[in-house]
Structure 1
Amino acid sequence: MSFAGPVDIVTEPAVADDIAAFVREGLTNVVRHAEAATASVAVSASPDDITVAVVDDGHGIGETSRRSGLGNLELRARSRGGTLRVESGADGTRLWLRIPIAEERTDA
């Protein structure tokens, strides 16, 4: 696991919960499905956003109609004004979550 930037800027508990859920889901997928030899988690923060990546060297997601976990992560990302990106192939899977850091939440 690696951290870069002022990761302690994530003080809102709900954002921290969404980041933890992303990491949990990403690593659960690696353990259950990827048959990977390695996996990594990287967290990077700037004053504007926080990005979390889960990367593995497994066989990729492949063809499946069941993606409920990834769908849940996409909903979490969107609810925060962020994005989820998934790249998967024979050389592994890369999941990125980007969440903008709001200076003030006006919708709370």
Structure 2
Amino acid sequence: MSNLAHQVQNKPNHVQNPQSQPDVITRKRSKITKGEKVLWAFAALMLAAASIFIISNYAEMYTVNKEIQVMEQNIDQHSKQVDDLALEKSELSEPLRIINFAEQRLGMKFDDKNIKVVNN
């Protein structure tokens, strides 16, 4: 009698001989080349240098402006003192005050007959 069932065929087990295959190292290439990296680094360096230069200039301008404001305040104070002294000078040099001072403190008398006019 024949066996109608499906016969399983034995497959020979093939054992692959491990051959020494050279290890292939595949390098992934970056999308940015070395030249571009150098250019970007140079651009970043120049940007940093420019920003430092600009910030230092602004700091120097700030200090100069502050010094100018301080000097303007000093000039205003001195001009006020000069104006006050000029007013005091004009008050002290009034002829009536000088005559009163001479009469009261120095004991002098004002006499029109003794006045002599000298022309240069």
TM superposition score normalised by structure 1: 0.23
TM-score by length of 2: 0.21
Higher strand share: 1
